[in-house]
Amino acid sequence: MILAVLTVAGMASAMGLRNAVHCVLALTLGFTGVAALYLQLDAQFVGLAQIMVYVGAVAILIVFVIMMTHRSEPAAPPNFISLWTVGSVVAAAVFAVLAWAICCSAASTQGLPPQPGVTVQQIGDALMHRFLLPLEIMGLLLTAALIGAVVIAMGHKEDMK
Amino acid sequence: MNSLQNYLLLSSLLFSIGFAGALIRRNAILVLIGIELMLNAANLNFIAFWRYGPAPAALTGIMFTIFSISIAAAEAAVGLGIILAVYRHFRTTDLYHMNSLKG
């Protein structure tokens, strides 16, 4: 319950604050809350991977980009689009439909099954046997995506001094 | 308290927050953050269904989430690279000024 409140507060302030750096700080709070929820759901490996990837890498990357694109604008533009009420209403409607579907569903009222007790060795075995091809494809995709990101962000030759 | 329904409600709330942020923010970086929030909500759904599902020993939910986190990391890297390239062109990250595809 506390974790849920913490996560929602972090995520909501990440979307609501005016300063972009404060948004990223609130975002790390939200990511940490999600990781703690993973730990609560007995998915220790995924929780720690979430902390390492999101809190450790993605948040730092976003902070870098904010610092690189930061300008002290003389007149700060408004943070939200002019139709922000319409966007909020659409998002609230999406949440209402999802919550209605969840509350009507019969499958979501079952109790907690016994603790699975998954070890990292089991995860490694599954990755090396049953999920070997997806793992290789993921490695290829990560390599291609990171090289592509560097190439896109590097710009043209004449731009570089 | 900790039933599957509550986790699903929480993750749909996170999805809606991310969706609202992606819709109404003017900064391109914060729109990307909203998309990350939506991906996180989907991951939380995967883990909750895995934990409450009939066969948690099959590890499918964990595998889905691991691959999804990798995809999200790659997406964040490429998205931020695109934002940097666009910033170099337009000199702003305000989405209102990015209104032309060529030039």
Report how far residue A52's alpha carbon sits from residue A41's, in angstroms, rounded to the nearest whole number: 18
Report how far residue A24's alpha carbon sits from residue A63's, in angstroms, rounded to the nearest whole number: 7
**Does domain A1-74 correspond to CATH entry 3.40.50.1100?**
no
A 71-130 residues inside an 8 A Cβ radius of B: 71, 77-81, 83-84, 87-88, 90-92, 94-95, 98-99, 102-103, 105, 107-113, 116, 118, 122-123, 126-127
Q: Within chain A, which residues score under 50 in pLDDT?
A: 74, 161
ipTM here: 0.88
In chain B, what are the domains? 4-97 (1.10.287.3510)
A7/B10 CB distance under 8 A: yes
Percent of chain B with pLDDT over 90: 44
Scanning A72-131, the segments in alpha helix (DSSP H) are 84-104, 120-128
Q: What is the pLDDT of residue A158?
A: 57
State the smallest CA–CA distance between residue A35 and chain B in angstroms. Answer: 9
Q: What is the pLDDT of residue A110?
A: 66
User: Could you tell me which chain A residue has the CA closest to the CA of B81?
Assistant: A153
Phi, psi of A80 (to 5 degrees): -115, 155
State the smallest CA–CA distance between residue A141 and chain B in angstroms. Answer: 8
| Domain range summary for chain A, segments of one domain joined by + | 1-74, 118-161
State the smallest CA–CA distance between residue A79 and chain B in angstroms. Answer: 6
B8 contact residues in A (CB cutoff 8 A): 102, 108
B74/A142 CB distance under 8 A: yes
Q: Which of A15, A20, A108 minimises the CB distance to B29?
A: A20
Whether residue B92 contacts residue B25, with contact meaning beta carbons closer than 8 Å, is answered with no
Determine which helix (DSSP H) or strand (DSSP E) holds A140, and give its type and residue range: helix A132-154
> Residue B55 corresponds to which amino acid?
A
B29/A49 CB distance under 8 A: no
Determine which helix (DSSP H) or strand (DSSP E) holds B98, and give its type and residue range: none
Report how far residue B101's alpha carbon sits from residue A102's, in angstroms, rounded to the nearest whole number: 41
Whether residue A27 contacts residue A62, with contact meaning beta carbons closer than 8 Å, is answered with yes
A148/B24 CB distance under 8 A: no
A45/B26 CB distance under 8 A: no
Whether residue A102 contacts residue A108, with contact meaning beta carbons closer than 8 Å, is answered with yes
Report how far residue B19's alpha carbon sits from residue B34's, in angstroms, rounded to the nearest whole number: 6
Pick the more confident residue, A139 or B100. Answer: A139
Q: What is the pLDDT of residue B41?
A: 93
Q: What is the pLDDT of residue A94?
A: 92
Q: Is the confidence at residue B12, as pLDDT, over 80?
A: yes
Q: pTM for the full model?
A: 0.87
